[in-house]
Structure 1
Amino acid sequence: MQVSEAMTRDVRVAHAEETIEQAAQLMAGLDAGALPVSENSRLVGMITDRDIAIRAVARGKGPDTPVRDVMTDDVKYCFEDQQLEDVSRNMGDNQVRRLPVVNREKQLVGILSLGDLAIATRDGMAGEALTDISRPGGTHTQTG
């Protein structure tokens, strides 16, 4: 099964120059914990509710802080035509719960989450990815 068969297609993005308050409001409206970040129609990062809490609020930054100041700019992504099993393994290896999905022209076309994996596969693939994501000592950090 390809990523395009499991991903969520209706993806909203935050813009790098927007404030974290605007991003948080968009997340609240979507009931989502993460948003891809774009700048000049290009995917430049991801912002999560955790980024806002750890990189902004915990450091005394206000709601007018630009998204670019707290987003994760090391963007991990996958292609819509990749095999779901391979991407699931990569999610575990990189300890990420969601990945932006791009086409071969690197335009954002969706997002793939653990929930999408669970719904699409029903074969334990999401559980295996979650086990790998949850292991301690990964490279993912919120202190960057």
Structure 2
Amino acid sequence: MAERRPIGYWLKELDRLVTARFEEDLAAGDLSRRQWQMLNSLAEGPRPAGEVRDGLAPFWTEAGEWDAQLARLVERGLVVEDSGKLSLTDVGRATHDDAFARIGRRRRAMVEGITDEQYLETVRILEKMAANMAAE
């Protein structure tokens, strides 16, 4: 009988695979994961730069990362900043839409064979486990 691995193994393995596959998909559009998150945050319209930065704060791992990633998007003509508000340019919108389609295909492949109910239950269980650990 095959060894049954604990949940920690599967959480790490899924995180590793999601990160690797999403990075592949985003690299096809010359985007980093952080740049994608910034573009996706602006997909519904202009937003204050501080609001976007603060909303993505849990993902920043290095000092200055926000500034560097934003500068790269501005240099590429994907994002403009006006009076403290960020917005996508036409090129930024097209880049976002292409990446969104690739990410969407990947997400659909990830949940293939899983019902909506199974997915929602899995998320509910993981949320409860996280809450239990946070209460420790």
Bin of the TM-score, shorter chain as denominator length: under 0.3
| Structure with max Cα Rg | 2
Structure having the higher strand fraction is 1
* Structure possessing the higher relative contact order (Cα contacts under 8 Å, 6 or more residues apart): 1
Normalization by structure 2: what TM-score? Answer: 0.25
Structure having the higher helix fraction is 2
